[in-house]
Amino acid sequence: MQNGNPILKTLWAALEHEPRINLHRWPVRIDLTENDVLVLEGDVGSIAAKKLALELAGATPSVRGVVDRLHVAPPEPRGDGAILDALTALLLDARELKNCTLRAIRKGETLTLQEADGEDASGDLLVSVKNGVVTLDGWVISLSHKRMAGVLAWWTPGCRDVVNALEVLPPEQDNDDEVSDALSLVLEMDPLIPDPGQIRVHTRNYVVTLDGLVATQAEKNRAEQDAWCLFGVDNVINQLSVSR
C-alpha cells in the first residue's frame, strides 16, 4: 500500500471500522493504480467480509473502479475435484434445476451429467472449479435460477469464491422483490433452516433485512449467510430473534 495516499488512508480507516472484516485476523492487501482503480487482494473470513470490503472500496471518494481479488478462506479446504463433485451433486439434487442441462469441466474435458430436452428446458449450466473458485457459465430462464445456482456453489465445502456468469434468457429486470423471493426459496431448500416460514424477508435497494424467530443462534447465522450468498445483495441486516 502506498504510504500517505489519501484514497488508501480513507479506505483503510473504513475497513478497520467494520468489525465483520477484521483486518487483524484477515489482512487485506490494497493497491491503487495510476488510474485511481483500487485493487483488493487476499483471503477474508466470510462472504459478508468480501462484499463489505468491495462496497467500501467502491464508495471511497475519487475511486474510478475496483478490482476484486478477494477470496473467502473455507473452513474445510478441499481440492478442485472434490469441490466439483460436491457441487454437481447439489445441483443435480436441486428440484428447481431438474429441467436444466448440467455439464462440468474436469481435467480439461467437458462431461454432460444431466441433459434437458425440448423447448421446456430451464437452462444449460457449465460448471468448472480452479483453485477453489467456482465458475458458473451458460444460461437459465430466471434470475431466481441464477441466484439459486450461485448459493449452491457457495454452500459447497471448500469453495473460495463464485463467479456467477450465468445469462438469464429471456432477460429479466432485477428488483428488490426478486431478491426477496429468491431468498425465500433458498431458505426453504436449506436443510439447516428447519422452519423457514418463521423468517420474514424484506429487501430495499438490495439491502436485505431479516426478522422473525428462529430456534438457535446457528440458524440465525445461517439465514444471514444465505442472504449474503445471493447474487446482487449488497448488505444484510439481521434482526432475527432467537427463542433459546
Measured torsion, CA atoms of residues 236, 197, 158, 14, in degrees rounded to the nearest 10: 10
| Residue 234: band (very low, low, confident or very high) from pLDDT cuts 50, 70, 90 | very high
Q: Which of 43-47, 114-118, 186-190, 196-200 has the lowest mean pLDDT?
A: 114-118
How is 87-150 classified by DSSP, letter by letter?
HHHHHHH-GGGTTEEEEEEETTEEEEEE---STT--EEEEEEEETTEEEEEEEESSHHHHHHHH
- Is residue 93's pLDDT more than 70? yes
Domains and CATH numbers, the chain: 6-72 (3.30.1340), 80-168 (no CATH), 176-242 (3.30.1340.30)
- Is residue 1's pLDDT more than 80? no
Mean pLDDT of 87-112: 96
Three-state secondary structure along 54-98? HHHHHCCCCCCEEEEEEEECCCCCCCHHHHHHHHHHHHHHCHHHC
* Lookup: cell for 175: 428488483
| Residue 244: band (very low, low, confident or very high) from pLDDT cuts 50, 70, 90 | confident
Mean pLDDT of 158-184: 97
Q: Residue 76: its pLDDT value, please? A: 87
- Tens digits of residue pLDDT in 118-167: 778 999 999 999 999 999 999 999 999 999 999 999 999 999 999 999 99
